[in-house]
Amino acid sequence: MSLVGKKAPFFSDSAVVNGNDIVENFSLKQYEGEKYVIFFFYPKDFTFVCPTEILAFQNKIEEFEKRGVAVVGCSTDSEFSHWAWLNTEKNKGGIQGVKFPIVADLTKTISMNYDVLAGDYDYNEDGEAFFNGAPVAYRGLFLIDKKGVVRHSLINDMPLGRSVDEALRMVDALKHFEEYGEVCPANWKEGDDAMQASADGVASYLSKH
């Protein structure tokens, strides 16, 4: 089920922040009332597409920060795996230099609650538990507003990397709607015309475009 329009599922778990510090009981609750959040999942540390996405978010971190957005990553690896990857040089496959928090979802409960886990637990005829599918997260992304409500979500299969620029565009669209009450049409970007959510507003916009 889609989480859009609902409160983002709560969690409190270990994370690596500032690229080097392991903290316990990390939660998105700390941002409520203060910042928007881009919360994204990726399949696994020390892989292939994942570092390109994580480094792309870091390369645009100032763009997110000036919009009042906290970027937070998450995978089903442990905080120790995150720490090791964050402290591995880029030319050796690492993501050294990334400063935004990366959450450890070793129990997979966060991924399950956000409905991005690429499989689920089941039982065989003997009552033995097993995991059906891949025990890692799809490439889920959630834009969460200052009230803790999910306003946008995107889930990609594992081979399909995301667009960081599109995440920024969605932040801009949400902020524009909140500030001006105007809705944002297809392919809208900051500086373009938006429109009033009415028949007259649509007609006026279409007549100009």
| Catalytic residue numbers, as ranges | 50
SS (H, E, C) 64-99: HHHCCEEEEEEECCCHHHHHHHHCCCHHHCCCCCCC
Both structure tokens of 132: 């059906």
